[in-house]
Structure 1
């Protein structure tokens, strides 16, 4: 039997399995109040068979306002109770995370153990007095009582990621000289007092989320984490959930696809050796074999699934029932994180149901039709999948030799191979559903007429933008996609200039540098990585510089000739770059379709989707495909 599906104790609770939904912000609340959208989102994850669900961080102090739900007053209890009541039929333990953002607050007063700002653009936080610290400790205790009143069966304190308890633990940011600063025991005092106050306020088992490291120079380190884990256990915690990173090192906390799975396991193992209570592990553990190994080898007692349950709510049931081929993979693109970080509702690049669970319904079509999808990028593949699930007869037509469109191009860079997992999953699901798949099959009006579909979905994507730069049509200049596909020979030592520092430009630079080329990226904007989620962009830019890629920003290419690229700086000065080859990654324009131009008016319903309509990101593309299929 898979050890993931054996019971485990959490204080007095017995969880039916060892899979716990990690607390993640959704921005589905309304002014701090739980909405029916919030309830439906959690119900969908409960339906998927997870053993426990930790509801996203709720603010414990009344003067703290943000995009998070709140648990700072009795007025917020009824909404939270709705979540618990709605999840009751699913034999799932439901907990809630209590949080105080401290200096990482979105709105309201910024407070911290010391007046050290988050970054150069952030306000200097107010240094908490001892009296204010004591009031915040009571805020946690009061929130715990509200949680019990709402019906939650366990609590979690967010003591990681640079939020207030974590900020106190950091010697880099806590410069106090009183009882809450200096020694590790003093810096941990705030956390210990919170744990004890919660234990005195209610009898719910307490999970403490702790950084195994801040991953910052001079910050909270693994050795200190092990010691603090023991202090927290002695203060009454029933479990330690080990994470890492802060807002300054988010590539640790919310690892992009370039970070290996299980990157926090060494931290988890160290804490596990110190404490006797169950330990929870997190960090891209949504690979079933890895998750099973974590528990089987004794690295942790429970596995947290976060983004993996956003992408695939049925992950537990599919793994339990040996239906792994149906698992929709999370590609760690962090689109969900990026949206929530901007205060927008959670969505997903691979699962269009996310954020609209309340109204989502894939029902049999009232009238079955023949649907012809032209183009196999994210929009086309998702339109085909959902249309077939609804009972329509579906075919997909792709002009290139392989399916995938921009999914294929995006997945060719070394750090982006996870994208290909999703592409391959979609193609496999379409084949299993009986969708006709045609490759190397450009579509004309004649072919459409011969096929005789009732509905034509045009999802042909976008073509590269080629501006009128002198020499841009020269023999050494190629579209960046040709480099990614390996269609241009680039021997080691080749001097390659990538014009455009967007996602495609950065991915091209990464792949070509890995092959030994000398690469320079020229971008007219003030930064590279346009179109890349913030955490992924930060990680990619750091890696490009580490690997020796030169990044020129505020630089406009004015002329290209064999062996040379000229660019203009903001001061008007023109500079020259030696260039054996030039890759163009300037942007995209909707692909023109002769199908639409030549198609005669008739009974065929036509829908134009995704980049074929307007160049967009994967989230909008896959949602456009879903909307089209659900409307048929």
Structure 2
């Protein structure tokens, strides 16, 4: 079925060994623009997994640009980049590097653009580039490409999408110039065409151009003009076009959360492929092997970009090639990796604790094999059991509920979060294959622990709902939001529901209720809802809640619950009342902590939310650490 993905394909003078390309993604593993040993280990791990081509994350081409990315703006950055290329050579992988100028989309430092149009109302007005400054930037691209060749890269890619500088020039919404770099498409594309020619002429390297097929809901370039621009860029010397979409104003398009259908950008690649005679790359949640193969087989693309899928599962190519589809650890598009890097933090992953620490990651056989009892099967418990078993311990996993997953299982009940179940199913399959003994439906007490007689007890029992002393909170129509998510509470026809608390669980509960046509209000004491949800997913979810008619009240502190209403005060202290026939509590969490009266001498560790309620990434990584050190 997926054999088409492993055919060789030409890219200019290069022969790529298969049709799978690692997409360029920021990692924040560099140090002041210099490649580090951690960066090298991260890319080497993906090369080991069998991907045919790796495009190293965007490197800044201009010395005056401020950003967390690696750099190609001077010769001092060459040794690290050369070392990275050399480290990947033994794996028969074609290696390229992305050249990047962010333009106006910067967090700090100079902001430049074709026109003085700010990104949004809170952003600075960018400096409008003069003709001479445009020429200097084009020269920066060419010089960076020459350095890429000197570092040993096989090709270069220009990030001409996502609202960065070339994309901003192409956009009819943001390029308002009246000189030869503005106006009609030929004028707006002139910058891209001149950059492409300068790179090809100066470096001689094959050039991939990353192009938006659509700028997304923010407005700007759309597919008809994108197709025409692709032809111009190919005529200027590009050897391939990589088609994507979206800008910083529409990141839910660029980095689609799990609620977005797979392959949502594939039609854009198909339109470009019909118009050019060079290979076209498609991207956008194509990490399902069948979807990836279909994109090639149906003629929509020549190559498939794997981004977050290779973060979650570096061995995706080799496992798929061997037909081991069930062994592929699924990316659930939670965007935790994106969120961390967007905040300037090192890349990590919700389902793969190896990410960001590949250089030191070793799962060694334990010198002394012990009986390990893991209580709780949320993210931390599942990962602790897996790693401990891989090290050779005798492991049992215990869960109070009838299903594994803890809060994973609850989160998956929201209409936009079903993808979470793929990870739970994968972990359960792996644990079964490893021989972990799994027991569900048992409330583990000190007596149960004593009867099992473990050497080590790992408590990953998660967190319990907070129930503050609000008058009326113990009324019979007030319930823990998790009970509504699980379907344990029947909402009467016509009932109005107020969800107290607008963090992840509160939003998920409101989404489920609204999807069933229940009139729903969220009351949140913070200034916004969605705390604890990754930024892109939060933006998408909140928009969906509003579109579904959910009333969202923020800066609202609940002071009482009546039989038919919830009373709350606003930021000015004024009292309000919202009708409520049923109330769902999603106020927060408190750690469950350790069990009392455990057998003396037993080694006990508390991990994940049971110690400190946090996010999915921290829970998985803490579980892994417990398994590595037990």
The bucket for the TM-score relative to the shorter chain is: over 0.9
Match of 2:375 in 1: 374
Residue equivalent to 1:614? 612
Partner Cα separation in structure 2 for residue 250 and residue 301 of structure 1: 25
1:66-91 deviations in Å (ceiling 9; x for gaps): 11000000000110011110000100
Cross-structure match for 1:441: 442
Q: Deviations over 1:601-620 (max 9, x none)?
A: 21x21110000001010100
State the partner residue of 1:345.
346
Deviation at 1:494, TM superposition (A): 2.0
Alignment check: 8 A CA contact 2:593 2:606 kept:
no
Given that 1:493 and 1:516 are in contact with CA atoms closer than 8 Å, whether structure 2 keeps it comes out as no
SS at match of 1:597: coil
Separation (CA, whole Å) in 2 of partners of 1:363 and 1:120: 52
Match of 1:11 in 2: 12
Q: In the alignment, which residue of structure 2 is the partner of 1:401?
A: 402
Give, in whole Å, the separation in 1 of the partners of 2:614 and 2:493.
34
Match of 1:461?
A: 462
Q: Which SS does the other structure have where 1:598 is aligned?
A: coil
Deviations, residues 469-506 of structure 1 (Å, cap 9, x unaligned) = 00001010000000100000024432010000001000
Deviations 1:379-415 (A, max 9, x none): 0000000111111100001111111101101111000
Aligned counterpart, 1:138 = 139
Task: Indicate the residue corresponding to 1:411 in structure 2.
Answer: 412
In the alignment, which residue of structure 2 is the partner of 1:493?
494
Q: Paired residue for 2:273?
A: 272
Q: Distance in 1 between matches of 2:168 and 2:430?
A: 46
SS at match of 1:208: strand
Task: Tell me if the contact between 2:218 and 2:249 (Cα under 8 Å) persists in the aligned partners.
Answer: no
1:446 match: secondary structure: helix
Q: Structure 1 residue 65: deviation in Å? A: 2.0
Q: Secondary structure at the match of 1:94?
A: strand
Equivalent in the alignment of 1:249: 250
> How far did 1:181 drift?
0.6
In the TM superposition, what is the alpha-carbon distance from 1:417 to its structure 2 partner? 0.6
- In structure 2, the partner of 1:624 is 622
> Contact conserved, 2:450 with 2:599, CA < 8 A, in 1?
no
| Contact 1:94/1:152 (8 A) holds in 2 | yes
Q: How does 1:444-593 map to 2 (within 5 A)?
A: 444-593=445-594
1: CA distance between counterparts of 2:121 and 2:46? 39
Query: C-alpha distance in 1, partners of 2:479/2:485?
Result: 11
Report SS of the residue matched to 1:242.
strand
**Secondary structure in 2 aligned to 1:212?**
strand
1:240 aligned counterpart, secondary structure: strand
Instruction: Give the SS at the match of 2:85.
Output: helix
CA distance in 2, matches of 1:367, 1:59: 49
The CA deviation at 1:217 is 4.9
Paired position in structure 1 for 2:390? 389
Give secondary structure in 2 for the equivalent of 1:470. Answer: coil
- Aligned mates of 2:335, 2:593 — CA distance in 1: 31
Q: Deviations over 1:190-219 (max 9, x none)?
A: 000000000111111100000000013541
* Alignment match, 2:129: 128
Secondary structure of the residue that 1:276 maps to in structure 2? coil
Partner Cα separation in structure 1 for residue 434 and residue 345 of structure 2: 34
Per-residue displacement from partner, 1:100-152 (whole Å, max 9, x unpaired)? 00011233211000111111111111000000000000000000000000000
Aligned partners of 2:551, 2:32: CA distance in 1, in Å?
A: 45
Runs (5+) with no aligned partner, structure 1? none
When normalised by structure 2's length, the TM-score is 0.99
Between stretches 397-406 and 30-39, larger displacement belongs to: 397-406
Paired residue for 1:57? Answer: 58
Q: Secondary structure at the match of 1:317?
A: helix
For residues 491 and 128 of structure 2, the distance between their equivalents in structure 1, rounded to whole angstroms, comes to 56
Q: Which runs of 5+ in 2 are unaligned?
A: none
Partners of 2:236 and 2:404 lie apart in 1 by: 56
Match of 2:282 in 1: 281
Residue-by-residue CA offset, 1:562-585 (whole Å, 9 max, x unaligned): 111111111221111111110000
Aligned residues of 1:491 and 1:517 also touching (Cα < 8 A):
no
Q: Does the 8 Å contact 2:8/2:19 carry over to 1?
A: yes
Partners of 1:109 and 1:387 lie apart in 2 by 49
Comparing 214-223 and 132-141, the one that deviates more: 214-223
Once the 2 structures are TM-superposed, how far is the Cα of residue 434 of structure 1 from its aligned partner? Answer: 0.6
Cα distance, 1:592 vs. partner? 4.6
RMSD: 0.8
- The 8 Å contact of residues 281 and 305 in structure 2, kept in 1 or not, is answered as yes
Residues 35-434 of structure 1 aligned to structure 2 (within 5 Å):
35-434=36-435
CA distance, structure 2, for counterparts of residue 99 and residue 532 of structure 1 = 29
Query: Quick one: distance in 1 between partners of 2:4 and 2:304?
Result: 11
**Is contact 1:378–1:621 with CA below 8 Å preserved after alignment?**
yes
Quick one: distance in 1 between partners of 2:341 and 2:71?
A: 16
**What secondary structure does 1:144 align onto?**
helix
In structure 1, the partner of 2:597 is 598
Q: Aligned with 2:604: secondary structure?
A: strand
How many residue pairs were aligned? 629
| CA offsets 1:288-346 (integer angstroms, 9 cap, x no match) | 10001000111100000000000000000010001111111000000000000000000
Residue 8 of structure 2 contacts residue 18 of structure 2 at CA under 8 Å; is this kept in 1? yes
